[in-house]
Structure 1
C-alpha cells in the first residue's frame, strides 16, 4: 500500500494541508454563512411565531372574557324574564281565582235563595197538607167538621214550636 510507505508521507501531508485549507476556506466563506443565515431566519421565524401565538392567546382570552360576560348577562336576563313571567302568571292566577271565588259566592247565594224559597214553598205546602190532613183526621175520628181557621192556627202554632 503506497500510503504506508514513508517516502510518500511528506507529499501526502502537504496535500492534506492544502485540501484542509481549501475546505476550511470554502466552509468559512460559503457554507457556514449560509448555515448561519438559515439558523438566523429559523430563529426569527420561531420568534415571530411565538409572538403571534402570544397575541392569539391574548385575543382568545379577551374573547373568552367577552363570552363569559355575555353569558352572565343572558343568564341574568333569562332569570329576570322568568321572574317577570312567574309574577304575571301568579297575578293572572290570583285574578282568575278571585273571579271564580266571587262567581262561586254569587252562585252559592243564588242557590241558598232558591233553597230558602223551596223550603218556604215546601213549608207552605206542608202546612196546607197538614191542615187538610188534620181536618180530615178530625172529621173521620170525631165525625165533626172542624173550623178551617182554627185548624190552620193550630197547625201553625205546632209548626212554630217544632222549628
Structure 2
C-alpha cells in the first residue's frame, strides 16, 4: 500500500506530533506555495474591490470637490466684481452728496450774505437818518446857544458896567456884543 499515507507521513517539518505549529508558520518552507497562492488571490480581490468600488467613489468625491471649488471661486469672483461695482456706486454717490452739500452750503452763504447786506443797508440808512437828526439838533442847539450867548453877553456886559458905577446903555451894549460876535 504504497499509495496510502499514514498520519505519521503527513506530518511535515513545520508541525510537531501533537499537530501544533513549530515556530512561525509564515516562514515554513513547506507552506510557501500555499501562502503565495492565497496572497495572489487576496491581492486580486483587493485590486478588484478598489478599482471597481472604492477608487470610483473617491474619484467622484474628488471631482465633486473640484467642481465645488471651481464654482466657489467663480462665485467669489462674481461677488468681488459686485462688491467693486457697489464700492464704485458708493464712491460716486458720496462724491455727488459732497458736491450737493457744497452747493447747499454756498447757497446758504449767499443767502446769509444777502441778508447781511440788507441788514447793513438798513442799519446804514438808520444811522444816516439819526446822524441827520443829530446834526439838525446840534445846529438848533448851536443857534439856540448863540442866541443865549448873546443874551448872556449883553446881561453880563450890563452887569459889569453897572458894577463899575455907570449906568448901562442897552443900545450901546447890544451894538458892542453884536460887533464882537460877528468877528
Distance 2:163 2:52 in 1: 159
Alignment of 1:1-163 (within 5 A): 1-146=24-169, 148-161=170-183
2:14 counterpart residue number: none
Normalized against structure 1, the TM-score is what? 0.93
Query: Relative to total residues, which structure has the larger helix share, 1 or 2?
Result: 1
Write the deviation string for residues 99-145 of structure 1: whole angstroms up to 9, x where unpaired: 11111111111111111111111110110111122123223325224
Deviates more, 1:41-50 or 1:90-99: 90-99
By how many angstroms is 1:90 displaced?
1.1
Distance 1:5 1:136 in 2: 172
Deviates more, 1:9-18 or 1:81-90: 81-90
Normalized against structure 2, the TM-score is what? 0.84
Distance 2:72 2:105 in 1: 48
Write the deviation string for residues 9-31 of structure 1: whole angstroms up to 9, x where unpaired: 00100000000000000100000
Structure (1 or 2) with the larger CA radius of gyration: 2
Distance 2:95 2:161 in 1: 95
How big is the alpha-carbon RMSD for the aligned residues of Structure 1 and Structure 2?
A: 1.2
- Consecutive unaligned residues in structure 2, runs of 5 or more: 1-23
- Consecutive unaligned residues in structure 1, runs of 5 or more: none
By how many angstroms is 1:3 displaced?
0.9
Distance 1:111 1:85 in 2: 38
Size of the alignment, in residue pairs?
Answer: 160
After the TM superposition, which parts of structure 1 deviate over 4 Å for at least 4 consecutive aligned residues? none
